[in-house]
Structure 1
Amino acid sequence: MARSQKQKSVTPTPPSQLDRFDEANSARLGLICVQERIPEDYTRWDIEFLVDDRPSRLTCISPGEYGGVPHGLDGDFATILNVMYLEQGAPESGIVHTTAYQMLQRAGFPDSGQYYQSLQESLDRLKAATYTASESWRDHKRQRWTTVKFNIIERITAETQDGLGFGSGTTLKIQLARPVVESIREKYLKPLDMSFVLSLKRSLTRSLYRVLDAHRYQPSMTAEAAAEFRINLQQWARECKLRETVPARIKRNLESAHKELVERGYLTSVEYEGSRADTVIIYTFGDLPATTPAPEPVIEVVPDAPVTDALRRYGVAPTVARNLVSEFGESLVTQRLEKFEAMLKSGYQARKKSALLVDIIRDQGGKYADPEGYQVEPQRSEANLQAATVAKRMEAEEAQLNHRLQEEFRLLDHSEQAARALTQVRMFVGREVSERTLKTLLSAMTSEQVEPYEVYRAVTRAASELRLADFAHELRYAYGD
């Protein structure tokens, strides 16, 4: 699907000046087929390649009833989800809270039934398609290549106002794949020129741009973006997940995207060397000198609870540690951790410390006697265990997040500030107030009678303080009939 050309004047931003980022594994591997349309039977692709001179493999299997493998606009929505996840602090849960309207707005698509349907179909494909990256997924924290199997979206919770289809009032809670979440939280990211992406007319061009731009950076994510990129043409077709293998057809399929990227200044040329199976495609980039470094990702990630990190130091798997804290609470887990450490100091022999620690935390029947000299401090058995410390930490984190949110919010155009504030209001109290009230509120914000950020913060604060009913009443009183 093409979009309007109103942003055609946007030029590529040099990597050294970019402040948006995308998850690097997904971008580098090119999980989305660049084609705008695919045959109904295109339900699987499987490619082999080398990573650091080691054989690697990437496979995608997707049910035919969802429209085959992810393709076309699916790449736009997958990218926007990663961007929004980062903006929301990259929480450990991997969940993005948004609305269908907000996703269309952020992806640059109009508020129309056609695009709401496209969004719903795209999210279904991203949920249904199963990827296996064999020895090709970068574990950035440990600096090694691993094998992972995942769906880009693990879970979708959608609340629609009318019928089963998505619309402007649809609220979404989308849980991203665990490998993607961990990569983002470990800051394995690549620069993303979001303004330029949104300005590109065709889905094919946007998809090719994302794959091509990712290949400018080495898998180790060195900061320097390449000024030129060479690759065998048939291998490039596989990287783009095209079904074509004939060089002439590959060139023809990519021709319109190449033309747009050259016209827009991202590329200075696209050339070919050799013939038939030995053809090499050569991209020369026009947006930077060869030595321009890309910026370091500066993002704030919502941290794990300190006790979670303590469990991991004893060998408890990260997912297990988080689940234990979520299930039993920081207080009890901290208490059981101290008991475990006291048992070790008293000479208790554990075959596997991590397994013993997990068992102690889960124990509900007094299976493990308190070691000599160990005593639960009275205040630790109360519900307000370490309340002051926890409250202080939460208050500091909240202040930090709110400050960052406000700074980012203020940088938006005023119309986008109003749209985002209205989206937040619609998400929380859309069922309690009329559409006319919401339109009047939007008009007040766009005409600068009301500050959009104050509306945004007011509804968020009302939700956290369980005062949404009062907030809805205030809206009806101020902007209703």
Structure 2
Amino acid sequence: MTSSSAPVLRSKFDDLNLAEASLISCLTRLKPGETSWEHSFEIAGRQMHVECLGNSYGFPHGPDNDMMLVLSNLYLEQGQPKDNAVHCSAYELLRMLGRTDSSQNYRIMHDSLTRLSGTLYKIAGWLDHPGGTARRVTFRFLERIEEIQGQARHLNLKSFGAGTKLKITLDKVVAASLSSPRVRPFDLDFMLKLSGSQSRTLFRLLDTLWYSDPHTAAQGFLEYDLIELGQLLRLINLRPDSIRRTIVPIHEELIASEFLQSATFSGRGSKQRVKYVFNPQRPDYPLTVEQLELVGRIKALGITDTQARAYVRKHGPGRVRERVAMAEGILASTTRFRKSRGAYAWDILVDESGKYAYAPPKLSRETQVPGSRTPKTAESEKEAEQEFEALRRSQLQLPPDEQWAVHRSALRLLLQRPLGADLWKVLEASCCSGDLEASVLLSEANAAVATLTLQAFMDNLKDTLMAHSSAGASA
């Protein structure tokens, strides 16, 4: 069976009850006899107490974090079956976990399912809905695992193979929680791209803490006692130096993947704390309409699309809007640039020293200070305007399909996501047929970005495209 036949898991959610209880240990391996843990803690403003009683395979750890999330989303994707059971082959489950088809990975998957079905959790602080009354629950994540083999003589195999068909039944407490308002969107794709199970476990924990605590989201950082963090990661050795050895390599990956800006330690010994500063937005997140408008304004300053997008993702929209307005004001009153207009604008945007201030409004022709604008500069600006206008006229004279080919990338950047796939196809057909002119459309879209009227522009464009679509259907 090839990887191309593997299913695509479209559901991307996490259950806050499971995530806030932090049920899976960050450890990659356990010593014999390590089968249980217990912890009282505060999270999202409420007290929780969790007791974990594992089996001979130990308590859930390492890859079990991935398994818990994938099975939760498979349950949601298969329509929340009334019997709480999901159906898949061992191969399909392995591929959804992002693992290769190997005997070792089948064994790892078998052991993971065995731990999740054989471990008893007792949790005080379980919520059925936001703001509700907390209660105590006792459950196993999985109630039952059934193997359906093609031939009876294979049923006694310890591990699974590619042909194994599985029926995996979730505990009724877990299934009920997955049907509650305590389920939230979660970036499962990003998590599974992280290279190590420890990185994926800490990512899930930090992302949950960030989501659950409104103060963390507002401040952009999270600070925890080092030993308390070690307990939340379900580490056995809670010596500060041991915890640091475990989490420092994880920090490096989460910073490299741009989930974290930084992770710093303070204090000494058992009094140490760790502070996580989050990036406002990771590279894989789609830009909002507001961010696209800011990207357009930054590009108009002579900065590349790549730089503009990276800058908008790195900073909050309030700061970006303030710096862009400053750059626009300064550039409007500047006639000569040491390097280039774009390089000067970029230096203004990224400056942290405070060397730039808002420029005064540009003087009108009647009130300009004599000599402030040399004839040579005015002539250069006029020539640039004439060249731009000549280019625009030449593009307008191109056949409709060639205009579309020239401007397709720029239009896609601005319009494809807000239009959606269906209307984007209508737009392409309308531009190629000549019903709409791609050059004019791009000019109007850029003007809308610059004047902060992109939403109104999009509404009008959608109405136009829907009318074209209806006309085409009736014809």
Question: Does the 8 Å CA contact 2:118/2:140 hold for their aligned counterparts?
Answer: yes
Equivalence for 1:110: 100
Aligned-partner Cα distance in 2 for 1:204–1:274:
24
Equivalence for 1:41: 33
Q: 1:223 to 1:281 in 2, by over 3 A?
A: closer
Q: 1:179 aligns with which of 173, 180, 184?
A: 173
- The percent identity for this pair of structures is 32
- 1:368-407 map, 5 Å: none
Instruction: Compute the displacement of 1:175 (Å).
Output: 1.1
Equivalence for 1:209: 203
Which string of whole-angstrom CA distances, capped at 9 and with x for unpartnered residues, describes residues 4-50 of structure 1?
xxxxxxxxxxxxxx972111111111101011111122111000113
Segments ≥4 residues shifted beyond 4 Å: 51-55, 221-226
The total of aligned residue pairs comes to 272
Aligned-partner Cα distance in 2 for 1:260–1:141:
33
Opposite residue 240 of structure 1, the aligned amino acid is: L
Which string of whole-angstrom CA distances, capped at 9 and with x for unpartnered residues, describes residues 202-242 of structure 1?
111111111121111227x9996872111111011000100
Q: Which moved more, 1:71-80 or 1:278-287?
A: 278-287
Aligned-partner Cα distance in 2 for 1:217–1:123:
28
Find the residue that maps to 1:231 and give its secondary structure.
strand
Aligned-partner Cα distance in 2 for 1:222–1:228:
9
Equivalence for 1:150: 139
- TM-score, length of structure 2 as denominator length: 0.54
Q: 1:225 to 1:188 in 2, by over 3 A?
A: farther
Higher helix share: 2
Alignment of 1:188 with 2:182, yes or no, is yes
Find the residue that maps to 2:222 and give its secondary structure.
strand
Aligned-partner Cα distance in 2 for 1:181–1:75:
17
Opposite residue 212 of structure 2, the aligned amino acid is: Q
Structure number, greater radius of gyration: 2
Which string of whole-angstrom CA distances, capped at 9 and with x for unpartnered residues, describes residues 161-218 of structure 1?
4352311111111111222211111131132112211211111111111112111122
Question: Does the 8 Å CA contact 1:74/1:126 hold for their aligned counterparts?
Answer: yes
Find the residue that maps to 1:131 and give its secondary structure.
strand
Equivalence for 1:125: 115
Aligned-partner Cα distance in 1 for 2:131–2:226:
33
Q: 1:257 to 1:57 in 2, by over 3 A?
A: same
Which string of whole-angstrom CA distances, capped at 9 and with x for unpartnered residues, describes residues 400-428 of structure 1?
xxxxxxxxxxxxxxxxxxxxxxxxxxxxx
Question: Does the 8 Å CA contact 1:141/1:186 hold for their aligned counterparts?
Answer: no
Equivalence for 1:252: 245
Structure 2 gaps, min length 5: 1-9, 289-475
Opposite residue 189 of structure 1, the aligned amino acid is: V
Equivalence for 1:395: none
Instruction: Compute the displacement of 1:99 (Å).
Output: 1.3
Alignment of 1:160 with 2:149, yes or no, is yes
Instruction: Compute the displacement of 1:87 (Å).
Output: 0.7
- 1:128-143 map, 5 Å: 128-134=118-124, 136-140=125-129, 143=132
Instruction: Compute the displacement of 1:56 (Å).
Output: 2.9
Question: Does the 8 Å CA contact 1:92/1:181 hold for their aligned counterparts?
Answer: no
Find the residue that maps to 1:58 and give its secondary structure.
strand
Aligned-partner Cα distance in 1 for 2:272–2:87:
46
Q: 1:238 aligns with which of 205, 219, 231?
A: 231
Equivalence for 1:87: 77
Question: Does the 8 Å CA contact 2:116/2:141 hold for their aligned counterparts?
Answer: yes
Aligned-partner Cα distance in 2 for 1:58–1:45:
8
Q: Which moved more, 1:271-280 or 1:96-105?
A: 271-280
Which string of whole-angstrom CA distances, capped at 9 and with x for unpartnered residues, describes residues 411-456 of structure 1?
xxxxxxxxxxxxxxxxxxxxxxxxxxxxxxxxxxxxxxxxxxxxxx
Find the residue that maps to 1:181 and give its secondary structure.
helix
Q: 1:284 aligns with which of 277, 280, 300?
A: 277
Q: 1:211 to 1:225 in 2, by over 3 A?
A: farther
Aligned-partner Cα distance in 2 for 1:222–1:173:
42
Aligned-partner Cα distance in 1 for 2:215–2:147:
39
Aligned-partner Cα distance in 2 for 1:214–1:145:
18
Find the residue that maps to 1:207 and give its secondary structure.
helix
Q: 1:51 to 1:114 in 2, by over 3 A?
A: closer
Equivalence for 1:72: 62
Question: Does the 8 Å CA contact 2:121/2:140 hold for their aligned counterparts?
Answer: yes
Equivalence for 1:61: 53
CA RMSD of aligned residues (A): 2.7
Aligned-partner Cα distance in 1 for 2:76–2:216:
20
Question: Does the 8 Å CA contact 1:273/1:279 hold for their aligned counterparts?
Answer: yes
Question: Does the 8 Å CA contact 1:190/1:214 hold for their aligned counterparts?
Answer: no
Which string of whole-angstrom CA distances, capped at 9 and with x for unpartnered residues, describes residues 369-417 of structure 1?
xxxxxxxxxxxxxxxxxxxxxxxxxxxxxxxxxxxxxxxxxxxxxxxxx
Aligned-partner Cα distance in 1 for 2:264–2:140:
36
Opposite residue 176 of structure 1, the aligned amino acid is: L
Question: Does the 8 Å CA contact 1:24/1:190 hold for their aligned counterparts?
Answer: yes
- TM-score, length of structure 1 as denominator length: 0.53
Opposite residue 133 of structure 2, the aligned amino acid is: R
Equivalence for 2:220: 227
Opposite residue 33 of structure 2, the aligned amino acid is: D
Opposite residue 59 of structure 2, the aligned amino acid is: V
Aligned-partner Cα distance in 1 for 2:270–2:164:
49
Equivalence for 2:329: none
Q: 2:254 aligns with which of 245, 252, 261?
A: 261
- 1:312-323 map, 5 Å: none
Find the residue that maps to 1:33 and give its secondary structure.
coil
